[in-house]
């Protein structure tokens, strides 16, 4: 067994405020209100004006384009308040620091109105049903075989419990029948648990906590950056492996956890919803199970790239595999949101403006792809960028003459991460093109170097 003596510490709690914010967001995001939520909140079905006003603000926040994910100016800090604060008044105070003055009225109103609806339910049922689930989660995570696994995880990540720090799990009550979700923000995992009288904790909640703990450990590992640089040296397979390895190894760790916690689990069971990640996760589940000394580092980066080539060969690679982690620069906030919202990728960062020159971005791992979304007019203003790609405004302008014209350029070759530039003949077709590219990227093979006209239906 790996020589790590103590396992990481979990702090589990279920503050009312976290449930309040989470459910308010769920009510705002769903035009029809999830059936499960309306079971509790009959009043929400009619979608009162305060809920509509909050939903509009909320949607705008989600579409904001932060320049790299860790510098999100509103949405993240706003959410952080939900598990740091103890009362509605404290929460409002906390939000005031982050929320725009013009939005603050709508946000506070929605919160106070929703509090009136939810609080009686919380006092009468939810808090009572939630406590046994917290106790059960604590028990499962302290199970000696699970503790052994988490020590193993620390060894793999080259961490000690001190370096990892405390991992907090915030349990959020959900009405029965709703889909359970986990969302992590740094060292805090918010996990939605359906609560009913005598509810049993299902294994998925424990596995979700283990999965997110794994992601958190990988992020904190001193071996992460050396791995990133090694991926960048491994050619195209390295680029793809660099995007997926965290998900692959977190899912492989799921498998180890499931084996302990779920008597029905079989080694051939699926571990992740996306086929490429699933194939890789199962491969590394076996490798990890057979090799106690498997560890993060440059050597693992090489193994991941080679294993990808073997189990998911070149013919199967799709554009979305290269865009899984990406930095997007768009000509407008709308184009940015269209693209980000239409594709399945782990968004890395971006900005609704195009920098003068493309090139290495400070603070971004070396194998992250870059995407530029521009209409013809903007592209002509970025002549330097086009020149870097070995072309002139005239050369691609020809491609754009067709109605709704759309062209895509890829660069990067075998050694640099890909740069994609999508150019449309006007701002309107750029919007359509941005969402079209997002949608087809899961079927589209990596385009050939140079300008490729994209066919699309209007």
Return residues touching Zn ion (CB under 5 A): 247, 250
Least Å distance between CB 254 and Zn ion? 9
Least Å distance between CB 163 and Zn ion? 21
Least Å distance between CB 33 and Zn ion? 28
Q: Which is nearer to Zn ion, 250 or 252 (CB)?
A: 250
Q: Which is nearer to Zn ion, 230 or 247 (CB)?
A: 247
Rounded to whole angstroms, the Cα distance separating 1 from 305 reads 26
Least Å distance between CB 211 and Zn ion? 6
Least Å distance between CB 216 and Zn ion? 10
Least Å distance between CB 420 and Zn ion? 25
Least Å distance between CB 55 and Zn ion? 28
Find the largest Cα–Cα distance for the chain. Answer: 70
Q: Which is nearer to Zn ion, 52 or 344 (CB)?
A: 344
Least Å distance between CB 69 and Zn ion? 15
Q: Which is nearer to Zn ion, 237 or 250 (CB)?
A: 250
SS (HEC) of the chain: CCCCCCCCCEEEECCHHHHHHHHHHHHHHCCCCCHHHHHHCHHHHHCCHHHHHHHHHHHHHHHCCCCCHHHCCCHHHHHHHHHHCCCHHHHHHHHHCCCCHHHHHHHHHHHHHHHHHHHHHHHHHHHHHHHHHHHHHHHHHHCHHHHHHHHHHHHHCCCCHHHHCCEEEEEEEECCCCCCCEEEECCEEEEEEECCCCCCCCHHHHHHHHHHHHHHHHHHCCCHHHHHHHHHCCHHHHHHHHHHHHHHHHHHHHHHHHHHHCCCCCCCCCCCCCHHHHHHHHHHHHHHHHCCCCCCCHHHHHHHHHHHHHHCCHHHCCHHHHCCEEEEEECCHHHHHHHHHHCCCEEEEEECCCCCCCCCCCCCCCCCEEEEEEEHHHHHHCHHHHHHCCCCHHHHHHHHHCCCCEEEEEECCCCCCCEEEEEECCHHHHHHHHHHHHHHCCCCCCCCCEEEECCCCC
Q: Which residue is nearest to Zn ion (CB)?
A: 250
Q: Which is nearer to Zn ion, 346 or 415 (CB)?
A: 346
Least Å distance between CB 184 and Zn ion? 9
Q: Which is nearer to Zn ion, 172 or 189 (CB)?
A: 189
Q: Which is nearer to Zn ion, 103 or 247 (CB)?
A: 247
Would you give the distance in Å from CA 123 to the centre of its chain?
33
Q: Which is nearer to Zn ion, 57 or 250 (CB)?
A: 250
Q: Which is nearer to Zn ion, 18 or 250 (CB)?
A: 250
């Amino acid at each position: 067994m790996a020589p790590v003596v103590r396992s990481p510490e979990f702090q589990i709690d279920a503050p009312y405020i976290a449930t309040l914010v989470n459910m308010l967001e769920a009510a705002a995001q769903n035009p029809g209100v999830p059936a499960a939520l309306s079971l509790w909140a009959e009043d929400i079905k009619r979608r009162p004006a305060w809920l509509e006003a909050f939903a509009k603000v909320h949607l705008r926040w989600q579409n904001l384009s932060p320049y790299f994910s860790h510098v999100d100016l509103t949405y993240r800090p706003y959410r952080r308040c939900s598990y740091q604060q103890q009362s509605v008044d404290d929460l409002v105070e906390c939000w005031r620091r982050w929320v725009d003055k013009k939005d603050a009225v709508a946000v506070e109103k929605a919160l106070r109105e929703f509090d009136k609806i939810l609080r009686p339910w919380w006092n009468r049922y939810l808090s009572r049903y939630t406590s046994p689930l917290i106790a059960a989660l604590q028990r499962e995570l302290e199970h000696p075989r699970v503790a052994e696994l988490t020590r193993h995880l620390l060894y793999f990540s080259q961490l000690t419990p001190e370096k990892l720090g405390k991992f907090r799990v915030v349990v959020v009550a959900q009405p029965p029948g709703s889909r359970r979700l986990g969302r992590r923000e740094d060292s805090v995992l918010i996990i939605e648990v359906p609560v009913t009288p005598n509810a049993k904790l299902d294994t998925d909640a424990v596995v979700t906590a283990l999965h997110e703990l794994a992601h958190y450990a990988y992020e904190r590992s001193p071996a992460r950056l050396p791995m990133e640089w090694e991926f960048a040296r491994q050619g195209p397979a390295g680029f793809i492996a660099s995007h997926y390895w965290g998900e692959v190894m977190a899912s492989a760790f799921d498998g180890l956890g499931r084996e302990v916690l779920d008597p029905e689990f079989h080694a051939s069971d699926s571990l992740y919803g996306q086929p490429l990640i699933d194939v890789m996760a199962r491969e590394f589940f076996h490798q990890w199970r057979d090799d106690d000394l498997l560890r993060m580092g440059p050597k693992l980066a090489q193994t991941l790239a080679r294993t990808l080539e073997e189990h998911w060969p070149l013919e199967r690679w799709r554009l979305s595999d290269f865009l899984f982690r990406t930095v997007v620069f768009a000509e407008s906030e709308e184009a940015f949101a269209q693209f980000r919202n239409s594709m399945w990728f782990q968004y890395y960062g971006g900005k609704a403006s195009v920098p003068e020159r493309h090139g290495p971005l400070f603070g971004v791992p070396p194998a992250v792809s870059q995407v530029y979304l521009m209409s013809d007019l903007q592209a002509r203003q970025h002549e330097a960028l086009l020149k870097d790609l070995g072309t002139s405004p005239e050369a691609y302008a020809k491609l754009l003459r067709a109605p709704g014209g759309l062209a895509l350029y890829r660069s990067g070759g075998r050694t640099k991460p890909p740069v994609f530039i999508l150019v449309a003949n006007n701002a309107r077709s750029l919007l359509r093109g941005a969402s079209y590219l997002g949608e087809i990227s899961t079927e589209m093979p990596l385009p050939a170097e140079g300008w490729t006209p994209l066919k699309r239906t209007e």
